[in-house]
């Protein structure tokens, strides 16, 4: 909504511009209050705080993604990689019938988590050497960029699930170069 108002502001004049500026200020205040409330709720729950801090150790995973995962995916750390992937809807599903070999697709699951992790994967492709290497390897093997990005989403989810289960922060393997 803020983006729409900012776009409207570019063409507005006079009283309309004043109204749009006031609406943008209102939206910014609401967003700030929501972020403050989320932070207070996270600070009040010790388990949530520990999980959020643990998840934020991964390059590409920030405050928004970590709090979204902790609040909307309480099963994180309690399921296997296959189960958590299916729950979120990032596990590839075969569409085969008889001798026909169809495409593998993702579907179902928790769309909000999937969308949040997708944006995290975009960031992780630049800042996380493990995800960057994985993505480049898939694209190098001829996979489409969208498919490779979706595979990165699943990989991030599986890594985060294992980290929470083992209560271990992110550790980069010694043989991987840092992202530039």
* pLDDT at 108 (0 to 100): 85
Please report, for residues 18, 58, 67, 77, 117, the alpha-carbon distance to residue 61 in angstroms, rounded to integers and kept in the order given.
37, 6, 10, 16, 9
Which residues, 6+ apart, have CB-to-CB distance to 80 below 8 Å?
A: none
Give, as one character, the DSSP assignment of residue 100.
B
Once rounded to an integer, what is the mean pLDDT over residues 11-17?
90
* pLDDT at 19 (0 to 100): 92
* pLDDT at 174 (0 to 100): 55
* pLDDT at 162 (0 to 100): 94
Element (H, E) at 104: strand 104-105
Question: The pTM is what?
Answer: 0.81
Expressed in percent and rounded to 5, the helix, strand and coil fractions of the chain are 65, 5, 30
* pLDDT at 94 (0 to 100): 77
Is the predicted pLDDT of residue 123 greater than 70, yes or no?
yes
Once rounded to an integer, what is the mean pLDDT over residues 113-139?
94
In 6-94, DSSP assigns E strands to 93-94
Is the predicted pLDDT of residue 82 greater than 60, yes or no?
yes
Is the predicted pLDDT of residue 178 greater than 70, yes or no?
no
**CA torsion, ordered 125, 129, 131, 136, to nearest 10 deg:** 80
Is the predicted pLDDT of residue 103 greater than 90, yes or no?
no
Q: What is the mean pLDDT of the chain?
A: 90
* pLDDT at 79 (0 to 100): 94
* pLDDT at 74 (0 to 100): 92
Q: Residue 77: pLDDT band by 50, 70, 90 thresholds?
A: very high
């Amino acid at each position: 909504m803020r983006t729409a108002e900012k776009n409207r502001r570019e063409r507005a004049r006079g009283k309309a511009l004043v109204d749009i500026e006031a609406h943008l200020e209102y939206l910014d205040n609401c967003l700030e209050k929501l972020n403050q409330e989320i932070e207070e709720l996270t600070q009040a729950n010790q388990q949530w705080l520990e999980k959020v801090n643990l998840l934020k150790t991964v390059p590409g995973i920030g405050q928004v993604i970590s709090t979204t995962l902790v609040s909307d995916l309480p099963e994180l750390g309690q399921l296997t990689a296959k189960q958590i992937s299916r729950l979120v809807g990032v596990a590839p599903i075969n569409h085969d019938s008889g001798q026909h070999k169809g495409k593998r697709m993702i579907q179902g699951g928790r769309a909000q988590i999937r969308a949040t992790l997708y944006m995290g994967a975009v960031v992780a492709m630049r800042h996380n050497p493990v995800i960057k290497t994985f993505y480049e390897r898939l694209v190098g093997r001829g996979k489409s960029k969208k498919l490779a990005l979706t595979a990165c989403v699943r990989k991030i989810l599986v890594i985060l699930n294992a980290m929470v289960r083992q209560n271990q922060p992110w550790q980069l393997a010694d043989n991987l170069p840092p992202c530039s």
